[in-house]
Amino acid sequence: QVYDSGCCDSILLELREYLPKYFGVWSPPTAPNDTYLKLEDVTRKFNKPCIMDVKIGQKSYDPYASAEKIQQQVSKYPLMEEIGFLVLGMRVYHVSSDSYETQNQHYGRSLTKETVKDGISKFFHNGYCLRKDAIAASIRKIEKILEWFEGQEQLNFYASSLLFVYEGLCQATTVRLSDVTLAEKRGVPKGLLSGGDILEYNNNIHVINSTENGKIEASVSKGLSKFYALHKKAYSKRHHSQLSLKVENLEQDNVWKSSTCITQEHLNGNVIPQLEKVFCHMPAETKESANVEVRMIDFAHVFPSNTKDEGYIYGLKNLITVLQNILDN
């Protein structure tokens, strides 16, 4: 109906924006009586697609389901009505190991009200850091789908899902950090540290994507550790409490910029995790969206209605709240 050439329903035409494209039906030559929907591969444009399937709604059974079917569906995830969504599976690319971590539906069904936030956040963690840019972009996509549901009263969806896809090859791990500068010199006397140590001014960070798996070279770690050891010494002697750290990527029209402060106590830890947080915790308000897709999938149980789909709306709102909490915290 949605992709019919004669479709003139504005609600259905708008729905096209949130579905995988439909290319008709297809039957394999070996089984001509078997008919399949031919749908767009939403992951096709991604290098390292991270994928998550989330069932949306308070009920995963339709209005005509038998009592046995209802009991079967409720028993699979009793919290569905309260939480409003269920993680059916995910596949997450980990930059550090150049491999994927997968979770199946049993993982999603193990999540409770208390653990669902951490369970969802796992999808946005690439082994180095939390991809806040992908979370923010996902929220914006869900909000558009929510707007559609708030504006239509002709269809109700049961046991339908949202498919999330984002680019796992995080820009922060592939960018040439020769274009990244540390604005570290403002609080230190030029040339000399108070302890007599000479501050080398050739310490632009060079993190190069020379390895295919995106690992940071050991020499970088060694150099940065020495660099921060010097600064820690200088700051502790001069009683400076903060080091302003500004990171800018000058490539691709300044796709992302990030600023943060690392306090003295933070410098007591490993500097590499601190820098990874700077590189990957991109601000949510970044104008350029991360490469993210959120599409509605699975329509075996869609029914005509004359009311808003309150169950689906509840699930969308709750999912947005969880994602916003992950972003804020």
Positions of CATH 3.30.470.160 in the chain = 42-171+289-328
> Which H helix or E strand runs over 30?
none
- From first to last of its 329 residues, the chain has per-residue pLDDT tens of 999 999 999 999 999 999 999 999 999 999 999 999 999 999 999 999 999 999 999 999 999 999 999 999 999 999 999 999 999 999 999 998 999 999 999 999 999 999 999 999 999 999 999 999 999 999 999 999 999 999 999 999 999 999 999 999 966 554 433 344 333 333 444 444 444 444 333 333 333 343 444 444 444 444 444 444 444 454 444 444 443 333 334 334 443 333 333 343 344 445 555 544 544 555 544 444 579 999 999 999 999 999 999 999 999 999 999 999 999 98
CA distance 43 to 323: 22
Is residue 166 within 8 Å of residue 50, measured between CB atoms?
Answer: yes
Q: Which of these, 219, 198, 201, 202, lies nearest to 210 by C-alpha position?
A: 219
CA distance 323 to 317: 10
3-state class (DSSP) for residue 303? strand
pLDDT (0 to 100) of residue 329: 86
pLDDT (0 to 100) of residue 286: 45
pLDDT (0 to 100) of residue 205: 37
Give the Å distances, CA to CA, from 39 to 26, 36, 46, 268.
Answer: 10, 9, 17, 52
What CATH number does the domain located at 42-171+289-328 have?
3.30.470.160
Is residue 156 within 8 Å of residue 305, measured between CB atoms?
Answer: yes
311's CB contacts (< 8 A; 6+ apart) are 57, 58, 59, 84, 156, 158
pLDDT (0 to 100) of residue 289: 59
Cα 309 from chain centroid? 26
CA distance 11 to 304: 13
> Which H helix or E strand runs over 54?
strand 49-56
Per-residue exposure over 266-285, b if at least 16 CB sit within 10 Å of its own CB, e if not? bbeeebeebbbbbbbbbeee
> Which H helix or E strand runs over 86?
strand 85-94
